[in-house]
Amino acid sequence: MKIRLQTLFTKILHLGCGEMIGRLCNVATVIWLGHRYGVVILGIYALAQTLGQYLQPVIDFGMRHVGARLVARFPEATSAIVTRVQRRRCAMAVAALPLIVFYSASAKLPPNAQHFLLAFAVAGSFYAASLDWAAWGEGRMALVGLAKAFSPASILVFVVLTHASGANVLWWAAAGNWCGFLLQAAFFRWWWKFERPPGGHGWLPAAALESLAWRRTSIMGLAWLCYLAFNNVDMLMLGLLSTPDQVGLYGAAYRVLNQALATFYLLTQALYPQFARHGARERRQMVGFRVLGPLAAAGLVLASGMILLRRPILTLVFGRAFLPAAPLLLLLAWSLPLDFLSSYLSNAFLAWGMERKVLAATGISAVTNIVLNWALLPRLGAWGAALNTLISYGVLLAMLLLAARIAKEAGFAGHRGIGGRIAAEAALDTAPCP
């Protein structure tokens, strides 16, 4: 099954329109907060955003990826899949609220900031009502991208137009987050009203029932939580172990890194439904050096540019008060090629049903990151967080490459030795395309 570049580009473009609006609004908000209110206010806001990001995978707990994969494979059973998935997502949203309350009360922040943290994060519980994952499974990339724009656009409008001062601006940001998630839920409910096929509410293929079993989706959910934990648990731990100014400096450097990764994440999201339909031969092709080599090279080029321009970027985006974040960005930039490869492999493995392999890889890297953070953050603050991020990326990539080599789901069963794998790839290079 070949991936046509024109079709892939169209999907990325559709996904990227809404995604780009959301990212531009997000960048505009942090620029406004950084220049107008300084490091501490931006640090509190960044911590609230990170906490909200953790609520989403808890709500999904594997159902987003599994549900999208099943919609792509069994379009005739979409209604029944949506009913099952949404019921569980709403239950997980309710179960996650006590965790949000506990973290907000434990953060090293003034009481008013703790209350803001709680109010901002709880708004994300309405994400459970969104059906963007179903649109993802159907390949409706424009709608998936649009889902990413509701909350950032709403927050920007509330923050900029209110002209609030001091801590009040944070409460307007929380109000914008509530409005954005409510609008997202309402929009996708309206879309589903017209999209939902008639009948088929109770019928599910046996393979879909097996995939929706709790023991399968929980593995996917834990894998995605571990991936998020290794990726940005540093922010949450800085909120517990360090000061708001350290959170603000690290948050500024990490946001620059995330913006550089935005386009690549569009690629992996656009490929996910296609990955879900791959057979063994296509899987071997997608984890070969001819794909992974250029991805690593692109990451190195981007990292080099970011390192050279780190000081002008931080000054332009956040202001001169954030120049102490330049050494942090120097360290974090080297994680770009590692992230390119690890995020690509993770998304491919999840689409191929390799949840256990992803869970093992992300679990080991997340534990590495958390242990290093407990040891270094009290003494090194944001410096320790940046160093731990780079180390954790290396651990994750090593584990994923090992899984790509030995896992039968990746299509290399029977070619586990190095020589066998090279022979297999050579055969693929000379074989005619289907």
What are 290-311's pLDDT values in tens digits? 888 888 898 899 899 989 999 9
Q: Give the pLDDT confidence score for residue 202 in this predicted structure.
A: 60
Q: Give the pLDDT confidence score for residue 8 in this predicted structure.
A: 55
CB 230, CB 365: distance < 8 Å: yes
Intervals of the chain under pLDDT 50: 1-2, 200, 413-434
The rounded mean pLDDT for the chain is: 79
Q: Give the pLDDT confidence score for residue 126 in this predicted structure.
A: 92
Q: Please give the model's pTM, rounded to 2 decimal places.
A: 0.68
Q: Give the pLDDT confidence score for residue 410 in this predicted structure.
A: 52
Alpha carbons 199 and 8: distance in angstroms, whole number: 32
Tokens of 24: 């531009």
Alpha carbons 354 and 338: distance in angstroms, whole number: 20
Q: Give the pLDDT confidence score for residue 250 in this predicted structure.
A: 87
